[in-house]
Chains A and B, each alone.
Chain A
């Protein structure tokens, strides 16, 4: 039972990885728990704003299940 997390932009720099597979029991079962899991694991993520998408759909809350693909998406400022 695991999920894949993809990190984009400055978030990937705060985590040091662009993608990782994490056991669901380690993360918890919800988006909220996933957010706090990442903030605990990677302190610098807390300095950034980002949105979470589950299976390519933006989500602010809800449960996670085996095989889900989660994306951490920060807004980009550059032009």
Chain B
């Protein structure tokens, strides 16, 4: 038997014991998103001795991540998140395996990746990936521990566990205008720490088979009042059957830009939603404008937008000052420009 002395304080729990520790050692957990939720979840799962932890994230560490993504230090700024996370976790526990996947989760890789793990922990920051995780879990018959945050409030639930309710049973779809993330709205750094840690607790319970996982229940916590709700919800059999029978597809909130004759420049990152369908649309993320400004026409008005209206202003200032553009109009945040299809 492996040396479990470091886990003595949890082995002492009668529900855990040496057998439980061996279960933790054999477990494989895949964490999608090494961000505010993924960092604390990975830390506690590493400390608890989960044998194999996979981390999926395509992003690099940014200075603005540091107030909540507690695996990262100032020295990690600019590094791929999964690499920085792997280094930090391996320093804490050399007896486990950390696998780093520095690419986005997508339709092509999701199913194969999920089949290599026992279950999934969702630490993503957008609806499209949450629905992709849900639908892939239904198809691959894997549970997933979902959490999401908004400013001071968090939600937590365990989905698709032993044929239980799924994320779509709770939220079947989402509105095309409904798309806030931490980057746009701000978030209390402690909040993902609390919610990600609760996800780790659910993960350990599931592996050990102890207590009652949060199945068919949504925990809603408001850190401003410390009040919480525990909302019951049932399985939508029809919806689950639909997911099983249809090919995996991305959740798209169908919308278009109101003024179809305008030329638009979208300076958001390519993963940000919703992405309207339009013929006259240029998509150049803010940080690529320096390299790609020649793609922007100068002979007609170009309406610049982002998610909330902050980056559109920055983009215009940059393009006017550095590259002499004089044909740019600030269209602000995308939500004012949309109409549903």
Measuring CB to CB, which residues of chain A are less than 8 angstroms from any residue of chain B? Answer: 6, 8-10, 47-49, 51, 53, 56-58, 71, 73-79
A74 touches B178 (CB 8 A): yes
> A10 — which chain B residues lie within 8 A by C-beta?
150, 178, 180
In this complex, how many residues of chain B approach chain A with their Cβ under 8 Å: the count is 44
The answer, yes or no, to whether B58 is at the interface (CB within 8 Å) is no
| Bound Cα distance A32, B36 (Å) | 36
Determine the residue in chain B with the shortest Cβ distance to A69: B229
A47 touches B35 (CB 8 A): no
A78 touches B171 (CB 8 A): no
| Bound Cα distance A77, B123 (Å) | 10
The answer, yes or no, to whether B284 is at the interface (CB within 8 Å) is no
B171 touches A51 (CB 8 A): yes
| Bound Cα distance A78, B150 (Å) | 6
The answer, yes or no, to whether B335 is at the interface (CB within 8 Å) is yes
> A78 — which chain B residues lie within 8 A by C-beta?
36, 125, 148-150, 180-182, 185, 187, 192
Q: Which of A53, A74, A77 gathers most chain B CB within 10 Å?
A: A77
> A51 — which chain B residues lie within 8 A by C-beta?
170-171, 233
> B182 — which chain A residues lie within 8 A by C-beta?
78-79
B181 touches A48 (CB 8 A): no
A-B contact pairs, 7 of them (CB 8 A): A10-B178, A49-B174, A58-B234, A76-B148, A76-B154, A77-B130, A79-B181
Cross-interface CB contact of B231 among A49, A53, A77, cutoff 8 Å: A53
- A49 to chain B minimum Cβ distance, whole angstroms, is 4
A56 touches B125 (CB 8 A): no
Cross-interface CB contact of A56 among B177, B181, B231, cutoff 8 Å: B231
Cross-interface CB contact of B125 among A48, A57, A71, A79, cutoff 8 Å: A79
B218 touches A49 (CB 8 A): no
